[in-house]
Amino acid sequence: MSLSHLERLEAESIHILREVLAECDKPVMLYSIGKDSAVMLHLAQKAFFPGKLPFPLLHVDTTWKFREMIAFRDETAKRLGAELLVHTNQDGVAQGITPFGAGSRTYTDIMKTEGLKQALDHYGFDAAFGGARRDEEKSRAKERVFSFRTAEHRWDPKNQRPEPWKLYNTRKKPGESIRVFPLSNWTEMDVWTYIAEQNIPVVPLYFAKPRPVVKRSGAWIMVDDTRLPLEPGEVPQLKTVRFRTLGCYPLTGAVESEADTLDDILSEMRESRSSERQGRLIDHDGAASMEKKKQEGYF
């Protein structure tokens, strides 16, 4: 047995991807454009080679993603010849929900969680791949690779199915669905090492570059377009920053960094003493906030 740990992780993820395709009726891949999605998509290409991607990609667009993310998303779908579905919660748009004012909590619920449920119901997908990893957050650490959702999309953390060995029970009742996490056992370091090793394209926002930013609640927020309301006296300044995690631009903090190559990112990570989700403002609503969001259907 001479497989390295990345080779073992890769083989396990491919096994999970194939298991879903073989046992589920209508799978979809949640494509959130970030580095984890990039790795998951790359693994799917490997799993089904020489065939093309046998399921569509779904992006739940909150309309507040970075412009570079949207450009990268369209480019990627085109490059791979993949079917790309984009869904936006139009009710939320009509109600004028934004990441500001009403507070980020309502915004995430309506634009992300509700948007996702709408899309899954609309297309009738029975299995959805997500790029979440167990090392990201404490409640994720206890989530199964195959995570079941009721017809109302709820997660019951106390009643999860055992997954011994590589045996996944994919049986479900009508209306129920499965969220599948092929990257469950990957760490942030594994993801970047694999991206470097396999030369996987990622959004340029991960690499340091001078960008216009303002400081909010201790985080650098990029002024990606003119919709970001500036506080009185707030003036965007040019700082060399990069992002460790990507989401909606008004809610995603950049870090000051000079790392503009994959090698730099890897060595910066080895020095780093803070977690990647630190930049995500939505996670700090309460100690168990992710668990609550997940119970309600957040990915």
* Options 25, 96, 231, 287; binder of other proteins; rule CB under 8 A: 287
Residue with tokens 């990570």: 269
154 binds other proteins (CB under 8 A): no
Cα(26)–Cα(251) distance, integer angstroms:
32
Task: For the chain, give the number of residues.
Answer: 299
Site for other proteins in 93-152 (CB under 8 A): 134-135, 138-139, 141-142
162 binds other proteins (CB under 8 A): yes
CB of 294 to other proteins, least distance (A): 11
CB of 75 to other proteins, least distance (A): 20
What is the DSSP pairing of strand 146-149 with strand 57-60? unpaired
CB of 190 to other proteins, least distance (A): 7
CB of 209 to other proteins, least distance (A): 24
Residue 64 or 148 having the CB closest to other proteins:
148
How far lies 93's CA from each of 64, 69, 87, 89, 113, in Å? 11, 20, 12, 7, 14
* Options 71, 151, 230, 288; binder of other proteins; rule CB under 8 A: 288
81 binds other proteins (CB under 8 A): no
Burial tier of 34 (Cβ tally within 10 Å: 0-12, 13-18, 19+): buried
Residue 79 or 173 having the CB closest to other proteins:
173
80 binds other proteins (CB under 8 A): no
* Residue range at the interface with other proteins (CB under 8 A); choices 99-107, 184-192, 222-230, 232-240: 184-192
DSSP state letter for 297: T
Q: Give all strands of the β-sheet with 177-180 in edge-to-edge order.
A: 84-87, 57-60, 27-30, 127-129, 177-180, 146-149
Inter-axis angle of helices 188-198 and 35-48, nearest 10: 60
Residue 79 or 158 having the CB closest to other proteins:
158
* Residue range at the interface with other proteins (CB under 8 A); choices 91-99, 202-210, 257-265, 272-280: 272-280
Q: Can you point out the beta strands (E) in the chain?
A: 27-30, 57-60, 84-87, 127-129, 146-149, 177-180, 209-216, 219-222, 237-242, 253-256
197 binds other proteins (CB under 8 A): yes
CB 98 within 8 A of CB 121: no
* Options 88, 118, 187, 240; binder of other proteins; rule CB under 8 A: 187
Residue 1 or 94 having the CB closest to other proteins:
1
Q: Where does this chain bind other proteins (CB under 8 A)?
A: 1-12, 14-15, 18-19, 21-22, 45-52, 134-135, 138-139, 141-142, 157-158, 160-167, 169, 171-173, 184-185, 187, 189-190, 193, 197, 270-275, 278, 287-288, 291
